[in-house]
Amino acid sequence: MLQIKKMTTGIIIILLLITLLPHQTSAVGVSAQTAILIDQESGRVLFEKDAHKKMRIASITKIMTAILAIESGKLEEMVTVSDRVLKAEGSSIYLQKGEKIKLEDLVYGLMLRSGNDSAVAIAEHVGGSLEGFVIMMNQKAAEIGMTNTEFANPHGLDDHENHFSTAYDMAILTQYAMKNETYQKISGTETHRAPNPNEKWDRVWHNKNKLLTQLYEYSTGGKTGYTVRAKRTLVSTATKDGFDTIVVTLNDPNDWKDHMNLHNYAYSHFELVKLKDKGTLKGIEEDFYHNKIFLERDVIYPLTKEEQDKVNINVKLQKPDEEWEREEVVPNVVGNLLVKIDERKIAEVPIYFDNGKVEKPKGSFWEMFRNLFFAVSGVK
């Protein structure tokens, strides 16, 4: 009897231990007040925690400053440092009054060393004034769908109350910026050397992003941030076996670890699945569309093992119009390819008609479909 009691007690203890051990579920713990993990290509949200809550963002603001400078087409121009540049507080690349420095070097100083003086110099040169540049920042934010963001300066310092964003919006911004090869290069640079006008030696800037320089083998770049009120903010990009991911955390005391865990979560729980090949859509019953409609790019989406068995793909096409006797009058886009998991829509991809005048979309998958491809969370 005593032996049976001991066995029963042992079984109960084992069951309790199993219950208390962490399970491999879709839930991920992070220290951040708000956080998000997305697939860079499709924009699918793979994890989020209060991702739409408006927060102070500190120096990850500089992602917007950097991409606007790059898109200005002025990277080879020389910038003259003004008095206002020298008044920027906080982190600095120690610009000197009146010196001339290439805009490209300013962007490196901005991203690698988080120079607030560099941010002001960029703003004045690209925007004509700091105030003019802030207008550009907010226009770009609206253009790319950052609906819960307002910029009041180019650096992220706590000198304005109306300077905020969300983890989700910053992920959208990073996704947009990563389409640009120059941004990718600068964001992923560990060390940059720039001329120093008043010394015999060059300035040498080492990237503050420890994920890139020390901690994480899959890191491809990102931006650090900190102010007294915002606390630690961080944006990171990573890639493993062609799977590109973006993580944003706001007010996170343990951000390095959280970012590695979130990227690893994506790589261990999801895989990129080609749902449809680019090119001509086959098996279309409508004679008018036979061998005349196509997808411009492969449709690739991150899915869990369980989701892969639940994917449904449907084609929705416009009814041919009587006026479409001549193919050149047929619209470029004549329908959508709908991708669902069970009854939940995860993708809506345009279907093109080969009317002889289709302008081939350029850029990444996200650039083509960001107005049609609504990313939804896969976390249950």
- Positions marked active-site: 59, 62, 114
Question: What is each CA distance from 86 to 80, 93, 96, 114, 202, in whole angstroms?
Answer: 12, 10, 7, 15, 20
Contacts 24+ apart (CB under 8 A), 4-11: none
Angle at 208 between CA 144 and CA 62, to 5 degrees: 25
- The DSSP annotation for 173-189 comes to HHHHHTTSHHHHHHHT-
Is residue 235 helix, strand or coil?
strand
DSSP secondary structure code for residue 157 in this structure: -
User: What are residue 11's DSSP bridge partners?
Assistant: none
CA distance 326 to 335: 18
- The DSSP annotation for 325-367 comes to TSGGGS-SEEEEEEEEETTEEEEEEEEEE--S-PPPP-S-HHH
Rg (alpha carbons) of the chain, rounded to whole number: 25
